[in-house]
Every structure is written in structure tokens, then in C-alpha cells.
């Protein structure tokens, strides 16, 4: 029997403002991992800095709270060292798409089997409401001294261009649906993105619960034939126009659900195991490095191309 | 018989086989039983700029290169113009006789400043601004000229081998090198062995180069006669010898030291380390290990990341999950890693940062020597940021230090900055089995719990400040960069804050106590000498050579080499410095960074300094001269400026 989601709570005080979208995301993650029956110690949540980043203290796992923008490379290192671990990297829009955007992009190129969750409130919550990278231009949220002059980044399109093999969008207050997306993301083999639209009642007074709920719709409900799964190149070519239309749709209508999934690409771990043949059996975090305190290799044998046998003259 | 001690350089355009020629020369001399030192000087350029390889060989390992040399091989006009004054009187100057009419101004890659200096010099002697003028001056200086008609020889080579002109024209390096080595008394068959060894499986290339060597010898013999005498064989014939750079040895040390994860972003002069390692990322275990572990091969994951922020963070993630992890970079990349170092200190994550220093500030002299990142290493990371800083002095130290750094990182769950530099990175030397012996190294991981109990606390407060380490995945836990409770939950409580600051401080005191004094500093030479030279890093073998030269001149000095800068060996350093009458500090940076640290940690102010800033390797001879100058005049600072 699966563990109850309550088993994934921790003693820490959840310190978000009342009504914060992060509560819904937290619940969705806890429910997803409980339904997947992942043992707490086999789950790792790595988070960046921000209101959202606090989540790693609230989910029972073998977790790590790192630097602003740097959850993804840490998650990558953990996954590569211990590929049997379920690894989630999470952070805010500022964390993932501002200061850490180079990692957001590069992880896609590797297709490491981790799940990236972006808590997208379009503001910098923890530093008191500055514009986030997903805040559209000319919007002036509460804490801004003037309208935002930057255009907004499109996280799902960026993820697609970067090579993510699972891309989904959810909405923080829809715990049940978001939980399903997170479950699928975790189960997907490869780099997954779940962008979660997250109202911040304290600082984002424009993109509110009402604002979102007037716009969002679920793809599988409005378009019953929606099928974003790609398993061959031909299928990719055939489905791409429609998938791209959905990846760029934003404004009066905002699609939610799985936007793209590619099951044809191998993960970085699989690629590694073609070079280090016993990689899964002896991953970096779980392999012997000595016998009786002595090194496992003799440089004169392993690096023999550097050795000159002078008697051979 | 006086022990032979030969020193020469071969120069030519980058991409023109200078590296190959250097390697062939080193291998030839090793085959002859010599101990060698070879260093490559190159510019931040892929093709065309001047580069040169300087080699010294003798019976005991040479500790330094220096100018003037016994022989120069100049394969193009720029090399002639750069090195015509770098040969001793009576030495050899082997050059391409086809470039004598080349005008200084027509040599595009050459620095304008050098052109201007040469034009002025030539004009002052009534000579025209062409390459030939340099040859005239060399001749006046008593240098023996060996002009080689390289174009003609290349044409003959094409005829002889039936290969195309373009495919054989590369062999001019071999021609120049062989001509010079032949005249220095190295038997042509040894050079041929060196060529065969270097190009190994590439039969056709071996053949072309052997023929090139023979043509060169033939030409030299009929035009200049043979060598005065044959160079005697060295004492190391019959031995197994390893020819490796500092980059190679750190790579070897890390793999022998049980490294299981390395991340890096390409940068000179660091990336060759990771790239070399990557060739061996799935390696054979020794027989003993294979038997005891029941597995023939194991792998080390090496990842080229998107930048240095990712490189260090990935290493931290891997380390937290139980890997033995490191990253490798030079100054610019290290600067990007600062915030992560602070995280590693706070979250207590073991990681080794191998820093290959080069000339700064900024992009500075990206391919040249410098020791400007000592303070950077000491003060890297924000907040109170103690960490281990270790500096290797030579190739052998680099190998064992790479292992030691990994041990310390895990034992003390702390970042270890391992400082090395460009000179060590691209200098090759010969090493013997008793010097690089992995059985002399031990691997220690400290207190690790792979199966922690329910009440395990990641940041348990202990007497020695070290909390037992459990990897991520072993139990639910939390690692964090925020100030935290023993369980890892964030706290701003004033009492816990003090307790945690004290715990981390105790850990650092444990480190200071446990690292044996002889691993922190080494006093070379007579402990009772009145003069003490102080230095660190790759200047070590150079200063050891200088001590011998000083002794020949009747000056007795010893040398304090600082190996560990953090925790700073206050007592060990002070003991030596207060005993000396004159202390002279030697380093390759302008701020006199080690002297600054010595003053800060011990209160001892060093009054005399020798520094080198021009990006070229330090010479033993210029150290000697500077020491003598200081002893004579009492000067506070001498800047030495050797090198081309
Ligand atoms: C290197 C660095 N720069 C700046 C900060 C300050 N900072 C903390 S959180 C944050 C922004 C958080 O915004 P976001 O990532 O969107 O997370 P949210 O709080 O909205 O969940 C910033 C700029 C920091 N912690 N580190
Ligand atoms: S500031 Fe916004 S994002 Fe942060 S806790 Fe409050 S409501 Fe949530
Ligand atoms: Mg945000």
C-alpha cells in the first residue's frame, strides 16, 4: 500500500503567506510522490533560493537547499552520482529562468532523468515583489516603481528548444491535476519540466487567481484528441505544428496539461552507461574507491602510454 | 668527466610541430638514460603565433630551465628574431637559411613592441631591419651558426619518400631538431628511436620523419662535420620512465585517489587535466583490487558543463550523494565559483577545486605563468570562509597532493583548494616508479555512515566539529546553505547560531591540529643557514637549483616552502623565519601575496622580495643574481625579467 501523503510532511513551519500558490504545489508534490510510493530517503528535492525554494524543508526527502539559480546542476550531480534516486529540482521563475537560466537550458541537452518544477509567480517573491522573468511587459505589479519594461520569457518553449523530453504546465490551485502532471513528469525517463502557474497574492496583484482562472483550460478536456507523445522522427514531424501552437499559446487562453513528450531520446545516464559499462551497478556515489585504504589502480599500468621502457633502445 | 647538462630550445609557429619536436627530443633523451625537463611556451592562439619548447637534460632531474641555452633551433624568421640572443657563446644556432631576407615588418604574428626593439638595435649597429641582421649579431656573439636549407631538404624528402610536398613539409621540425641533437652528440639512431616512439602506430609518419632526420644528419655532416664527441649515456637506461606534465599527474593522482566524479568547463591551463582523465574514465583495476572487489573495471564520471557555476555545483551535488568529487579550472573560472565555495563550507560538502593559476588580472596572460591567485584562494567565498588551501611544488607533489586533497575534503567535509600553475601544467619531466607509486598513498574518507540510524543528524554537534557524513539517499535529511539546526532545518536562533559557528570553528581547529607539520611546510637545505628564502608552488625545484648555485658562490641559504596556507602554519613558519638573519621572499605576483599572509598570520614582516611578473618561467640563475643583489645592496625588491 502506498504511503499517505501526510508521511511526506516535516516538522518545519510552512512559512508562506496565507493563500500563497505554493501551498497547492507543495500538496501536489507530496501527493504525487506518495502515489508513486517513493521512499522518503529515495527522494531528493533540490531547491534554489526564493519563497518557493523553501519547499525542500517541507517535503520529507534526502534534500538539499542550495544557491539562487543553482538547483539544476546540483540535482544533476546527485542524479549522476546515484542514478537510483528520484530527483526533483525546484525553484521560482527568477531562480530557474533568470539567474539560473543557463542551467535550465543546458539540462535539456543532457536529458538527465530529473524533474524540474518552476513555481511561476512572475515576481521575485522573497525579495519583495520585483519583476520576474515571466512577467509580461508594461504590467506594473504592486511593488514595482513603474511598469515592467522587459518582455516575458516563455518557459515551455525554451524548454522545448533546449531538448526537454517532457513539458507540462499546471496551475497551483488545482492540486489534483497538478499532482497528475508531476507524477507523469517523475515517471518520464529524461528531463521533465512542470511549469506551475502560481498566484502570489502578496505581490502579484495582476496575475491573480481570477486572472488565471479566466484563461486556463486543460488540453485533454478541450481537445480530446490531444496527443503530445512522440516516439519516432516521423511522428515528431507530423505532430510538431500543433504542439508548437500550444507551446506558444499565451494570453486570453492558456493551455494546461502535458504539452510535449518525447520517448525516443536516451538519457544522459544511458549514454554514460555505454562508456562506463557498469555505471548503474557502480555509480560515482556508490562505488568502492579503495581496498584496505589503498588505491585501486597503478598509474604505470593504466597510463602506460606515458611510460617509456628505456631498455628498448 | 663533468656530468653533462644540456639545455636547448626549439621555436616555430604554433601548429607547426613544436610540441611534437619537444616530445621527440624528450623521448630521445629519456631513451639515452637522461632525466629531463621540458616546458612549452605558447600564446593564446591556435595557429601562427610564435611558440617554443625548452628542454634541459642531465643525470639528475633538472629543476629549472634558463637562458642562455646551449642550442637553439629556429624554424622560422620570428623564431630567429626572438631567440638570436638566447644562445651561449660557443653554442649552436640552427635555423632556416631560406628566411634571411624576411623583413621584420612583414612578420605578421610578431609583437610590434619586439619589432620596434629589434629595429632600434639593428639600426644602432648599422644593420637593415631584416632577419639576417639577427644572424650577424649571433655570429658576432660567438655563436656557431648552422643554416639549414629547409625548403630544399623538404623537396628531397618528398622525392625520397614519394609523398607529396605538403605532407612532408611538416617534418621541418624533425630536421631542425635532429640537426641540432646530432651536433650536440646525440646519436642519430637514438633520435630515430625517439621518433618511432613518439609517432608509434603511425607507420607512414614514422617513416617520413626518420627519413627527414637522416637527410638532416647527412646535410649537417657534409657541410659542418660531425659532433666533437658523442654524448655519454645517462644513468637511467634500463629503467621504466614516465614522461608526464603536471596536468597529467594531477589527473593520474585523482583517478588513483579514487575520484569518481569530475566536472569542468574548458579553460587554459586547466582543461588538459580533465581531458586527459576523460581518456581513462573506464579503467582497469590493479590485480589485487580486481581480485578483492571482484570487478575488473570501474568508471569515473567526467562532465563538461555549461559554465563554472555548473561545474562546481554539479560536483557539490555528486559529493553530497557520496561521490568523491572535484572540479578543475583557472582564475577566471575560480572567480565564478566563489558563491559555491561558501555553500560548501556552510553545508559541509567535500569537494576539491584544482586551480591552475595563470597570469592575471582578468583574462590577463591566459597561457602564461603566474601565481596571482593565492589570496583569491584564501579568501574565496563570502562570509567567514575557512577552507583548506594546498600548493604543490613539483610534479611528484602534484600527484600525491591530488590524492591528499581528496582525502582531506572527505575527512573534513570541506572544500580543498589545490593550487598549481601554468608552468607545472605544461612542463614535462621524467619520473621513476619509486616516485610515482600509488601504493605509497592511502585513501581516507573520514567518518561515513552509509546506513544511518533513525536519529542520525547531518550536522550533529561534536567535540571535534566533524559530523558523521551520510550520503544523500541513505536517509531523509537536509543539507543547506542557510544557518541550520543539527537536523539541517533553517534557524536564526542566536544560541544555535553561536553553537554552529563554534562547531565549524572546532572543525577547522581539528584540521589544523591533524595535518602533520611536515605536510604544511618544508625547510629545504641547512636549517642553520643564515639566509632563508621563502616561496611556494612551482618555484620549488627552481629555488632548490638556486640554492646549489648559491652554495657554489659561497652563499649558504635554506628554503622554506609553504605547502599548506590554510589552516596557516603559524608556528612552523615563525620558527624558521625568526631564526634567519635575512629572509627573502620569492613569488610570481605583484602584491607579494604569500608575504602578506605571513605578515597577517604571524606578524612577521619580510623585508626583501624577488618577484617575476612577465609570465615566463622563473630561472634559477636569475634567483641567484637577485639574491646576491639583495645581499649586496639591501634592496627591498628585485623584479626579475628573464624570458622571450
Ligand atoms: C546570488 C543571489 N542574488 C540575489 C539573491 C536574492 N534573492 C533571493 S530570492 C530572489 C528572487 C526569488 O524569486 P524567484 O526565484 O522567482 O522565487 P520566488 O520567491 O518568487 O518563489 C533573489 C533575487 C540571492 N539569494 N542570491
Ligand atoms: S510573497 Fe508571494 S510567493 Fe512568497 S510566500 Fe508570499 S504569496 Fe507566496
Ligand atoms: Mg518567483
- Quick: pLDDT tens for B97-121: 999 999 999 999 999 999 999 999 9
CB atoms within 10 A of CB B303: 26
* Portion 422-481 of B in contact with A at CB < 8 A: 430, 433, 436, 438-439, 441-445, 471-481
Is B289 part of any domain?
A: yes
Query: What is residue B336's predicted lDDT score, i.e. its pLDDT?
Result: 98
Nearest to B323 by CA among B421, B375, B254: B254
Are residues B170 and B285 both part of a single domain? no
- Which CATH number fits the domain that encloses residue B102? 3.40.920.10
Q: For residues B333 and B288, is the Cβ–Cβ distance under 8 A?
A: no
Residue A114 banded pLDDT, cuts 50, 70, 90 = very high
From the CA of A260, how many Å to the nearest CA of chain B? 25
| Per-position DSSP letters for B355-414, written without gaps between them | EEE-B-STT-BTTS-----HHHHHH-SSSS---EEEE--SHHHHHHHHHHHHHHHHHHTS
Are residues B456 and B382 both part of a single domain? no
CB contacts of B314 in chain A (<8 Å) are 73-74, 76-77, 80
- C-alpha A51/C-alpha A77 separation (Å) is 24
Q: Which domain holds residue B19?
A: 5-224
From the CA of A285, how many Å to the nearest CA of chain B? 4
Copy the grid coordinates of residue A298.
597503478
Q: φ and ψ at B298, to 5 degrees?
A: -140, 165
Looking at the DSSP bridge assignments, the partners of residue B477 are A62
Give the model confidence (pLDDT) of B601-625 as tens digits: 999 999 999 999 999 999 999 999 9
Task: Tell me, yes or no, if B293 comes closer than 8 A to chain A by beta carbon.
Answer: yes
pLDDT at residue A313 tops 80: no
pLDDT at residue B428 tops 80: yes
Nearest to A95 by CA among A56, A62, A59: A56
For the whole model, what pTM was predicted? Answer: 0.97
Are residues B534 and B462 both part of a single domain? no
Residue B370, Cα to own-chain centre: how many angstroms? 11
Query: What is residue A118's predicted lDDT score, i.e. its pLDDT?
Result: 98
Q: Is the CB of A23 under 6 A from ligand 2?
A: no
Q: Is B437 exposed, middle or buried (0-12, 13-18, 19+ CB in 10 A)?
A: middle
* Portion 181-210 of B in contact with A at CB < 8 A: 190, 193, 197
Are residues B253 and B337 both part of a single domain? yes
Query: What is residue A140's predicted lDDT score, i.e. its pLDDT?
Result: 98
Which residue has cell 634558463? B66
For residues A8-36, average pLDDT: 97
Query: What is residue B201's predicted lDDT score, i.e. its pLDDT?
Result: 86
Ligand nearest to C-alpha A70: 1
- C-alpha B31/C-alpha B531 separation (Å) is 39
- C-alpha B103/C-alpha B125 separation (Å) is 16
Mutate to test the pocket of ligand 2, among A17, A21, A143, A209 (most ligand atoms within 8 A of CB): A17
Looking at the DSSP bridge assignments, the partners of residue A96 are none
- C-alpha B513/C-alpha B569 separation (Å) is 10
Query: What is residue B327's predicted lDDT score, i.e. its pLDDT?
Result: 98
Q: For residues A140 and A202, is the Cβ–Cβ distance under 8 A?
A: no
- C-alpha B74/C-alpha B21 separation (Å) is 12
Is B237 part of any domain?
A: no
Nearest to B617 by CA among B429, B430, B425: B425
Residue where a domain stops, chosen among B460, B484, B514: B514
From the list B238, B286, B301, which residue is nearest A80 (CB)?
B301
- For A107, nearest residue in chain B (alpha carbons): B306
CB contacts of B33 in chain A (<8 Å) are 310
- Nearest residue (by CA) to ligand 1, atom 24, is A68
Atom of ligand 1 nearest to the CA of A53: 21
Are residues B421 and B461 both part of a single domain? no
Query: What is residue A312's predicted lDDT score, i.e. its pLDDT?
Result: 53
Are residues B113 and B261 both part of a single domain? no
Is B229 part of any domain?
A: no
For residues A117-135, average pLDDT: 98
> Is A310 close to B31, i.e. CB distance below 8 A?
yes
From the CA of B261, how many Å to the nearest CA of chain A? 6
3-state SS, one letter per residue, for A116-127: EEEEECCEECCC
For residues B325-340, average pLDDT: 98
For residues B138-162, average pLDDT: 97
Copy the grid coordinates of residue A192.
521533465
For residues B374-394, average pLDDT: 97
- C-alpha A182/C-alpha B23 separation (Å) is 56
**pLDDT, mean over chain B:** 97
| Per-position DSSP letters for chain A, written without gaps between them | -PPPGGGG--SS---PPTT-THHHHHHHHHHHHHHTT--GGGEEEEE-SSTGGGGGGTS-SEEEE--TT-HHHHHHHHHHH-TTSEEEEEEEHHIIIIITHHHHHHHHHHT-S-EEEEEE-SEETTTTSEEPTTSPTT---TT-SS---SPPP-HHHHHHHHT-SEEEEEETT-HHHHHHHHHHHHHSSS-EEEEEE---TTT-SSS-HHHHHTTEEEHHHH-TT---EE-SHHHHHHHHHHHHHHHH--SS-EEEEEEEEE-SSPPHHHHHHTTSTTTTTS-GGGS---BTTB-S--HHHHTGGGEEEGGG-
> Which residues make Cβ contacts (< 8 Å) with residue B287, sequence separation at least 6?
none
Query: What is residue B583's predicted lDDT score, i.e. its pLDDT?
Result: 98
Looking at the DSSP bridge assignments, the partners of residue B585 are B534, B609
Q: Is the CB of A125 under 6 A from ligand 1?
A: yes
Residue where a domain stops, chosen among B409, B440, B471: B440
Domains annotated for chain A, with CATH where assigned, are 5-271 (3.40.50.970)
Are residues B609 and B537 both part of a single domain? yes
Which residue has cell 577566471? B332
From the list A65, A70, A79, which residue is nearest B480 (CB)?
A65
Residue B1 banded pLDDT, cuts 50, 70, 90 = low
For residues B74-92, average pLDDT: 97
Give the model confidence (pLDDT) of A142-186 as tens digits: 999 999 999 999 999 999 999 999 999 999 999 999 999 999 999
Report how far ligand 3's centroid is from the alpha carbon of A120 (Å).
6
Is B231 part of any domain?
A: no
Which residue has cell 569542468? B264
Residue A1 banded pLDDT, cuts 50, 70, 90 = low
CB contacts of A76 in chain B (<8 Å) are 303, 310, 314, 317
Number of inter-chain CB pairs under 8 A, A vs B = 289
- Nearest residue (by CA) to ligand 2, atom 1, is A125
Question: In chain B, how many domains are there?
Answer: 4
Are residues B600 and B491 both part of a single domain? no
Query: What is residue A2's predicted lDDT score, i.e. its pLDDT?
Result: 74
Residue B47 banded pLDDT, cuts 50, 70, 90 = confident
Write out the E strands in B292-350. 297-299, 301-304, 325-329
β B5-13/B50-58 pair status: antiparallel
pLDDT at residue B137 tops 90: yes
CB atoms within 10 A of CB B257: 29
- C-alpha A103/C-alpha B453 separation (Å) is 35
Are residues B33 and B151 both part of a single domain? yes
For residues B180-199, average pLDDT: 96
CA pseudo-torsion sign B614, B615, B616, B621: positive
Query: What is residue A311's predicted lDDT score, i.e. its pLDDT?
Result: 73
- C-alpha B174/C-alpha B192 separation (Å) is 10
> Is A80 close to B318, i.e. CB distance below 8 A?
yes
Percent of chain B at pLDDT exceeding 90:
97
Task: Tell me, yes or no, if A309 comes closer than 8 A to chain B by beta carbon.
Answer: yes
Is B235 part of any domain?
A: no
Give the model confidence (pLDDT) of A83-98 as tens digits: 999 999 999 999 999 9
Percent of chain B at pLDDT exceeding 70:
100
> Which residues make Cβ contacts (< 8 Å) with residue A41, sequence separation at least 6?
A61, A62, B473, B474, B475, B476
- C-alpha B54/C-alpha B7 separation (Å) is 7
Is B230 part of any domain?
A: no
CB contacts of A60 in chain B (<8 Å) are 476
Query: What is residue A310's predicted lDDT score, i.e. its pLDDT?
Result: 83
- C-alpha B547/C-alpha B566 separation (Å) is 27
Atom of ligand 2 nearest to the CA of A204: 2
Residue where a domain stops, chosen among B193, B224, B255: B224
For residues B14-24, average pLDDT: 94
Q: What b/e readout covers B443-474, taking b as 16+ CB neighbours within 10 angstroms? A: bebeeeeeebeeebbbbeebeebbbebbbbbb
> Is A81 close to B239, i.e. CB distance below 8 A?
no
- C-alpha A65/C-alpha A69 separation (Å) is 11
Q: Is the interface score ipTM higher than 0.85? A: yes
From the list A77, A285, A302, which residue is nearest B313 (CB)?
A77
Give the model confidence (pLDDT) of B271-302 as tens digits: 999 999 999 999 999 999 999 999 999 999 99
Is B298 part of any domain?
A: yes
Calculate the CA dihedral of residues A154, A155, A157, A163 and round it to 10 degrees.
Answer: 150
Are residues B135 and B267 both part of a single domain? no
Is B54 part of any domain?
A: yes
What is the total residue count of chain A? 313
Are residues B426 and B464 both part of a single domain? no
Query: What is residue B2's predicted lDDT score, i.e. its pLDDT?
Result: 80
Are residues B297 and B401 both part of a single domain? yes
Copy the grid coordinates of residue A72.
539544476
Amino acid at each position: 500500500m502506498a504511503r499517505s501523503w501526510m508521511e511526506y510532511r516535516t516538522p518545519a513551519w510552512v512559512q508562506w503567506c496565507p493563500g500563497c500558490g505554493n501551498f497547492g504545489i507543495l500538496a501536489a508534490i507530496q501527493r504525487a510522490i506518495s502515489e508513486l510510493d517513493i521512499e522518503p530517503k529515495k527522494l531528493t528535492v533540490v531547491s534554489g533560493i526564493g519563497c518557493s525554494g523553501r519547499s525542500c524543508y517541507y517535503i520529507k526527502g534526502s534534500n538539499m537547499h542550495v544557491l539562487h539559480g543553482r538547483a539544476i546542476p546540483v540535482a544533476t550531480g546527485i542524479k549522476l552520482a546515484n542514478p537510483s534516486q528520484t530527483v526533483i529540482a525546484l525553484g521560482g521563475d527568477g531562480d530557474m529562468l533568470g539567474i539560473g537560466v543557463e542551467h535550465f537550458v543546458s539540462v535539456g541537452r543532457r536529458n538527465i532523468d530529473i524533474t524540474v518544477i518552476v513555481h511561476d509567480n512572475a515576481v521575485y517573491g522573497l525579495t519583495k515583489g520585483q519583476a520576474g522573468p515571466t512577467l509580461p511587459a508594461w504590467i506594473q505589479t504592486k511593488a514595482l516603481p513603474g511598469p515592467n519594461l522587459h518582455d516575458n520569457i516563455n518557459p515551455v518553449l525554451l524548454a522545448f528548444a533546449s531538448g526537454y523530453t517532457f513539458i507540462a504546465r499546471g496551475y497551483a490551485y488545482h492540486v489534483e491535476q497538478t499532482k497528475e502532471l508531476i507524477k507523469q513528469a517523475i515517471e518520464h525517463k529524461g528531463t521533465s519540466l512542470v511549469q506551475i502557474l502560481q498566484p502570489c497574492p502578496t505581490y502579484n496583484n495582476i496575475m491573480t487567481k481570477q486572472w488565471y482562472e479566466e484563461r486556463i483550460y486543460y488540453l485533454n478536456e478541450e481537445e480530446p484528441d490531444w496527443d503530445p507523445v512522440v516516439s519516432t522522427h516521423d511522428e515528431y514531424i507530423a505532430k510538431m505544428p500543433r504542439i508548437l501552437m500550444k507551446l506558444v499559446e499565451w494570453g486570453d487562453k492558456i493551455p494546461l496539461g502535458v504539452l510535449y513528450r518525447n520517448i525516443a531520446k536516451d538519457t544522459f545516464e544511458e549514454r554514460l552507461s555505454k562508456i562506463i559499462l557498469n555505471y548503474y551497478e557502480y555509480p560515482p556515489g556508490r562505488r568502492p574507491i579503495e581496498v584496505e585504504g589503498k588505491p585501486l589502480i597503478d598509474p604505470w599500468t593504466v597510463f602506460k602510454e606515458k611510460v617509456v621502457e628505456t631498455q628498448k633502445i | 668527466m663533468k656530468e653533462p647538462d644540456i639545455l636547448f630550445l626549439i621555436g616555430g609557429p604554433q601548429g607547426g610541430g613544436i610540441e611534437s619536436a619537444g616530445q621527440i627530443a624528450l623521448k630521445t633523451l629519456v631513451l639515452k638514460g637522461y632525466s629531463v625537463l621540458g616546458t612549452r611556451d605558447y600564446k593564446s592562439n591556435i595557429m601562427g603565433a610564435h611558440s617554443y619548447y625548452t628542454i634541459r637534460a642531465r643525470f639528475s632531474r633538472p629543476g629549472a630551465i634558463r637562458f642562455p641555452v646551449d642550442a637553439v633551433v629556429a624554424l622560422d624568421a620570428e623564431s630567429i628574431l626572438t631567440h638570436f640572443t638566447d644562445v651561449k657563446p660557443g653554442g649552436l644556432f640552427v635555423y632556416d637559411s631560406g628566411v634571411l631576407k624576411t623583413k621584420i615588418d612583414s612578420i605578421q604574428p610578431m609583437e610590434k613592441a619586439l619589432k620596434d626593439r629589434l629595429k632600434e638595435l639593428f639600426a644602432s649597429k648599422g644593420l637593415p631591419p631584416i632577419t639576417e641582421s639577427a644572424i650577424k649579431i649571433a655570429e658576432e656573439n660567438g655563436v656557431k651558426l648552422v643554416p639549414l636549407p629547409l625548403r630544399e631538404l623538404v623537396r628531397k624528402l618528398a622525392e625520397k619518400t614519394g609523398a607529396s610536398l605538403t605532407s612532408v613539409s611538416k617534418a621541418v621540425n624533425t630536421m631542425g631538431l635532429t640537426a641540432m641533437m646530432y651536433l650536440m652528440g646525440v646519436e642519430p639512431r637514438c633520435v630515430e628511436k625517439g621518433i618511432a616512439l613518439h609517432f608509434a602506430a603511425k607507420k607512414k609518419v614514422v617513416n617520413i620523419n626518420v627519413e627527414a632526420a637522416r637527410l638532416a644528419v647527412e646535410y649537417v655532416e657534409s657541410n659542418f662535420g660531425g659532433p666533437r664527441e658523442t654524448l655519454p649515456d645517462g644513468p637511467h637506461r634500463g629503467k621504466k620512465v614516465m614522461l608526464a606534465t603536471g596536468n597529467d599527474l594531477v589527473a593520474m593522482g585523482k583517478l588513483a585517489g579514487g575520484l569518481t566524479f569530475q566536472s569542468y568547463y574548458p579553460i587554459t591551463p586547466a582543461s588538459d587535466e580533465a581531458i586527459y582523465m576523460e581518456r581513462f574514465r573506464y579503467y582497469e583495476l590493479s590485480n589485487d583490487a580486481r581480485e578483492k572487489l571482484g570487478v575488473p573495471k570501474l568508471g569515473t564520471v567526467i562532465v563538461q558543463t555549461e559554465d563554472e557555476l555548473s561545474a562546481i555545483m554539479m560536483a557539490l551535488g555528486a559529493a553530497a550523494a557520496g561521490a568523491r568529487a572535484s572540479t578543475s579550472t583557472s582564475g577566471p573560472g575560480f572567480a565564478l565559483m566563489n558563491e559555491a565555495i561558501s555553500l560548501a563550507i556552510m553545508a559541509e560538502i567535500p569537494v576539491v577545486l584544482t586551480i591552475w593559476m595563470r597570469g592575471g588580472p582578468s583574462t590577463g596572460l591566459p597561457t602564461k605563468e603566474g601565481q596571482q591567485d593565492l589570496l583569491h584562494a584564501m579568501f574565496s567565498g563570502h562570509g567567514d570562509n575557512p577552507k583548506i588551501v594546498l600548493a604543490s611544488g613539483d610534479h611528484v607533489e602534484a600527484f600525491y597532493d591530488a590524492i591528499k586533497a581528496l582525502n582531506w575534503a572527505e575527512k573534513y567535509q570541506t572544500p580543498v583548494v589545490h593550487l598549481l600553475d601554468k608552468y607545472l601544467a605544461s612542463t614535462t619531466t621524467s619520473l621513476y616508479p619509486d616516485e610515482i607509486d600509488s601504493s605509497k598513498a592511502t585513501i581516507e574518507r573520514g567518518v561515513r555512515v552509509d546506513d544511518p540510524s533513525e536519529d542520525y543528524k547531518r550536522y550533529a554537534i561534536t567535540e571535534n566539529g566533524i559530523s558523521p557524513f551520510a550520503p544523500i539517499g541513505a536517509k531523509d535529511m537536509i543539507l543547506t546553505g542557510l544557518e541550520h539546526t543539527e537536523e539541517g532545518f533553517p534557524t536564526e536562533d542566536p544560541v544555535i547560531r553561536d553553537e554552529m559557528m563554534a562547531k565549524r570553528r572546532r572543525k577547522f581547529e581539528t584540521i589544523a591540529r591533524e595535518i602533520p607539520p611536515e605536510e604544511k611546510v618544508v625547510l629545504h637545505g641547512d636549517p642553520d643557514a643564515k639566509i632563508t628564502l621563502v616561496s611556494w608552488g612551482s618555484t620549488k625545484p627552481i629555488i632548490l637549483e638556486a640554492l646549489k648555485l648559491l652554495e657554489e658562490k659561497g652563499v649558504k641559504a635554506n628554503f622554506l616552502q609553504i605547502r599548506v596556507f590554510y589552516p596557516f602554519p603559524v608556528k612552523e613558519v615563525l620558527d624558521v623565519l625568526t631564526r634567519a638573519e635575512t629572509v627573502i621572499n620569492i613569488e610570481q605576483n605583484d602584491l607579494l601575496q604569500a608575504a602578506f599572509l605571513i605578515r597577517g598570520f604571524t606578524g612577521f614582516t619580510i623585508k626583501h622580495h624577488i618577484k617575476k611578473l612577465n609570465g615566463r618561467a622563473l630561472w634559477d640563475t636569475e634567483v641567484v643574481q637577485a639574491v646576491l643583489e639583495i645581499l649586496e645592496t639591501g634592496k627591498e625588491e628585485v623584479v626579475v625579467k628573464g624570458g622571450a
